[in-house]
Amino acid sequence: MATRALIGFISTDAAGNQVLTSTYNHYDGYPDSLGKGLDKYYSSFEKAREIASMGYISYLDSETGEIEAKDKKPADQTELTDDFIEAMMQVAEQGDSYSADYIYIYDTVNDEWVNVSLMNGIRNAQEKLMEKLSDLEYDFMSGDNEVNEDYNTKWQKFLNENTAMGKIITSHIRPPIPVRDYDWSAVREDYDEGDFIGYGRTEQDAIDDLIEQEEFLK
């Protein structure tokens, strides 16, 4: 009997929205199998984003990390509301649309997979997601129109100036400190010692910080 699961990754898009990228997993979606394989082979930021972007997985071998996929389809992209509570309900509902027994979401703050069961209903799954992904709530706090307008203005400036000033290179560094404001860094590709470095909780926060520093000295 199939034990279905949703494998998901929440990230910030170019417009500043939180987006759930999710993949359907058909067999052995319980924590002792799929969960074990995700923890062992897909527990980094890039690997987690990679597997959540596959679209369809028949089975993940927890011992080898190998994936079987009998079907090919694009991953689902769900734009989440800027209200964290409602966003977690959207994630739970997406899992329910898969007829999933479990939901796996990569916690980009703590670099780990969290899982919740849908066997006790969508509302229970929502509450568990809110509890286990509470460190992601900060990323949903910049959804008002004024903030988004300011974001879009800065993003357009970045697009206009990026070619002339050099491409921006980002890194997910996550230093071993309790403050998450330095998880991402951003520099120009021609960076020399003493040049500006942007930092932030998310990749886009680091880019924005770098651009603001450059704008300040113009």
pLDDT in tens, 40-77: 999 999 999 999 999 999 999 999 999 999 888 999 99
Last residue of a domain, one of 119, 140, 161: 140
Last residue of a domain, one of 140, 167, 186: 140
- Whether residues 111 and 150 fall in one domain: no
Asked if residues 141 and 18 have their Cβ atoms less than 8 Å apart, the reply is no
Written as six digits, the tokens of 140 are 């949903």
pLDDT-derived band at 149, boundaries 50, 70, 90:
very low
Question: Per residue in 170-211, pLDDT tens?
Answer: 888 777 777 778 888 999 988 888 899 999 888 888 888 988
Residue 79 has pLDDT above 70, yes or no: yes
Q: How crowded is the C-beta side of 184, counted as CA atoms within 13 Å?
A: 18
pLDDT at 155: 53
Q: Which residue has the higher pLDDT, 217 or 46?
A: 46
- Whether residues 114 and 153 fall in one domain: no
Residue 1 has pLDDT above 80, yes or no: no
For 166, the domain range is 145-216
Number of structural domains found in the chain: 2
Residue 144 has pLDDT above 50, yes or no: no
- Whether residues 131 and 24 fall in one domain: yes
- Whether residues 71 and 121 fall in one domain: yes
Residue 113 has pLDDT above 90, yes or no: yes
Q: What's the rounded Cα separation, in Å, for the pair 44 and 111?
A: 6
> Which ranges of the chain would DSSP assign to H, the alpha helix?
36-41, 45-52, 84-97, 122-132, 145-165, 203-216
Asked if residues 57 and 7 have their Cβ atoms less than 8 Å apart, the reply is yes
Q: What's the rounded Cα separation, in Å, for the pair 189 and 186?
A: 9
pLDDT at 145: 43
What is the average pLDDT across 117-135?
94
- Whether residues 32 and 126 fall in one domain: yes
Residue 136 has pLDDT above 80, yes or no: yes
pLDDT at 112: 96
Whether this model's pTM surpasses 0.75: no
- Whether residues 15 and 93 fall in one domain: yes
Question: Per residue in 4-53, pLDDT tens?
Answer: 999 999 998 888 889 999 999 999 999 999 999 999 999 999 999 999 99
Q: What's the rounded Cα separation, in Å, for the pair 213 and 142?
A: 20
Last residue of a domain, one of 93, 116, 140: 140
